[in-house]
Amino acid sequence: MRRVAGIKTRKNILNGLHAFFSWLKSKKIIEAIPEWPKISGSNAKARVAIDIETQNDGLSKIPEEHRDVLEFGFETGLRPGETCALLVGDVDLANNRVIIQRTWSGAHLKPSTKTNEEKYIPLSVRAREIVTEHKKDKLPATFLFINPNTGRCYRQKQLNNIWHTYIVVSQLHIMRHLVTRSAHRSHKPPELISLMPSF
């Protein structure tokens, strides 16, 4: 069966074509841009966060060498791209926090976050344990989390693949929303809870 392109994909295609026609007009190859069709609506599916028990069960099935980077993301509520982009120098143990100032977008390391702002994230007890272990004997400009299979930093796609190898309930980027609900049942700092994503 032939797959029909989603609404977002069709909008992106039209936007690209419109940019091309605008270029043609700027070069006087065409006199005017024709009347442009509009696509409305959305076929996006509602996202549902999984419960804390499912999260913990999934973590317990992940090999230990990959578990810390995922657990750190759950503890802090960071996006996978932001977690993978953390450098050792971003960790400030003296003030019990990390600074978020870059993110991975596909194969590109962007010197800004998705919201285009730098932010400090307080560390929970478990998050502090994780970063303390992973910053040992590393230079400040080194990535905090290194994939032992590649010797390089993790990427968002790798985290998704690791997660889906052991659990198929939810997409990894949805998992960050779970920490808001679970934080009140753990021992995360109140200031961290206030920075976590809301529903």
For 65-86, write each residue's pLDDT tens digit: 999 999 999 889 898 999 999 9
Q: Please report the domains of the chain, with CATH numbers, ordered by start residue.
A: 1-44 (no CATH), 52-195 (1.10.443.10)
Residues 37, 14 contacting (CB under 8 angstroms)? yes
Which of helix, strand or coil describes residue 115?
Answer: coil
How far, in whole angstroms, is CA 179 from its chain's centroid? 14
pTM over 0.75: no
Confidence of residue 139 (pLDDT cuts 50, 70, 90): very high
Per-residue model confidence (pLDDT) at position 164: 84
Span 149-180, pLDDT tens digits: 999 999 999 998 888 887 755 555 445 544 54
Q: At what angle do helices 64-76 and 125-134 cross, to 10 degrees?
A: 130
pLDDT at 129 (0 to 100): 97
Whether residue 9 is predicted with pLDDT greater than 90 in this model: the reply is: no
- 134 alpha carbon, distance to own chain's centre: 19
C-alpha R_g of the chain: 21
